[in-house]
């Protein structure tokens, strides 16, 4: 690809497990603004790989809400549920190199061996099944990706908003799942393969996924892909300091659309992000020319409902 053909490509990849809430919209808006400010294309990908929780009606609502907000996409929607053969082929490449192994552990098994990591409840898998002999276990098994030995799995990258990041995959992440025990594709594998094959150059998402980035960089390189740039953004939180989720029904798009116009919501989020000095009504398109990551703070944002 020569320079004349090169174009930046961002993406928004929601899971259709419920109606979008204001936190999802915040991520979508900043992702859209960032790529549009670069003259790039925005790709919509529906991450419906969880068969138990994903619903087509939620995917339809997500697309309706994005269009209502003026956050239109240039390509897609692409559905991960239709891409299983692609993931299978990439997983086989890893298996052929001995990079994966079956894991029979339950979450209870893993929790019994250690305390949650740091303060966020994460549990780092200690490799219980890593060296099991074939035939010693039976039944359903997840598939885990091997990470390097301690001290050899250092991944460093520059986040577009939070700067230099260095993570030891062994001590901070552990061998991670690439296919679930029920056969469903794991997030880490699907997102890496899709970002690469869709030519995504920039990933913008909440800082709660910051630790996923080194795992995805490592996995991408093992598959022979160039990883995208990662830019993480502060989270929208309720007055108790908890990240907004689909439990906050008063801030989901169904409730918001019944009370506000799209320009009201975009204006509020632009103000909270630091992109304008007051929560004046504005369209997403009107924000593109003045978009700058330097205007956006790093601290999480507490929303007070009116």
Proportion of the chain above pLDDT 90, given as a percent: 82
Identify the pLDDT of residue 296: 97
Mean pLDDT over 154-176 rounds to 96
Give Dmax (Cα) for the chain: 65
**Cβ(130)–Cβ(98) under 8 Å?**
no
Identify the pLDDT of residue 121: 60
Compute the residue count for the chain. 306
Confidence of residue 153 (pLDDT cuts 50, 70, 90): very high
Computed over every residue of the chain, the mean pLDDT equals: 92
Omega cis (within 30) before 77: yes
Taking alpha carbons only, the member of 71, 77, 88, 74 closest to residue 30 is 71
Mean pLDDT over 206-228 rounds to 97
- Looking at 71-216, which runs of residues are DSSP E strands? 75-79, 100-103, 142-145, 154-159, 163-168, 176-179, 202-206
57-109 pLDDT tens trace? 999 999 999 999 999 999 999 999 999 999 999 999 999 999 999 999 987 77
Confidence of residue 2 (pLDDT cuts 50, 70, 90): very low
């Amino acid at each position: 690809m020569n320079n004349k053909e090169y174009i930046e490509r961002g993406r928004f990849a929601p899971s259709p497990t419920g109606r979008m809430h204001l936190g999802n919209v915040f991520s979508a808006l900043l992702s859209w603004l960032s790529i549009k400010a670069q003259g790039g294309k925005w790709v919509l990908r529906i991450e419906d790989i969880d068969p138990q929780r994903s619903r087509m009606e939620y995917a339809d609502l997500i697309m309706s809400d994005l269009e209502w907000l003026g956050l239109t996409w240039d390509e897609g929607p692409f559905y991960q549920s239709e891409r299983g053969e692609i993931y299978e082929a990439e997983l086989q490449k890893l298996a052929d190199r001995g990079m994966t192994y079956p894991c029979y552990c339950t979450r209870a098994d893993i929790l019994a061996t250690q305390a949650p990591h740091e303060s966020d409840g994460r549990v780092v898998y200690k490799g219980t099944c890593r060296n099991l002999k074939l035939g010693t276990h039976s039944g359903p098994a997840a598939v885990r990706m091997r990470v390097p030995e301690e001290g050899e799995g250092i991944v460093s990258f520059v986040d577009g908003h939070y700067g230099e990041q260095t993570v030891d995959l062994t001590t901070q992440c552990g061998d991670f799942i690439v296919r679930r025990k029920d056969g469903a594709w794991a997030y880490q594998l699907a997102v890496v393969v899709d970002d690469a094959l869709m030519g995504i150059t920039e990933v913008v998402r909440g800082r709660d996924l910051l630790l996923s980035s080194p795992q995805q960089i490592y996995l991408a390189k093992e598959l022979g892909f160039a990883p995208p740039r990662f830019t993480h953004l502060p989270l929208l939180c309720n007055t108790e300091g908890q990240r907004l989720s689909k439990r906050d029904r008063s801030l989901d798009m169904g409730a918001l659309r019944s009370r506000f116009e799209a320009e009201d919501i975009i204006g509020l989020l632009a103000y909270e992000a630091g992109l304008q000095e007051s929560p004046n009504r504005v369209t997403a398109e009107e924000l593109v020319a003045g978009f700058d990551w330097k205007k956006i703070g790093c601290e999480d944002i507490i929303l007070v409902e009116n």
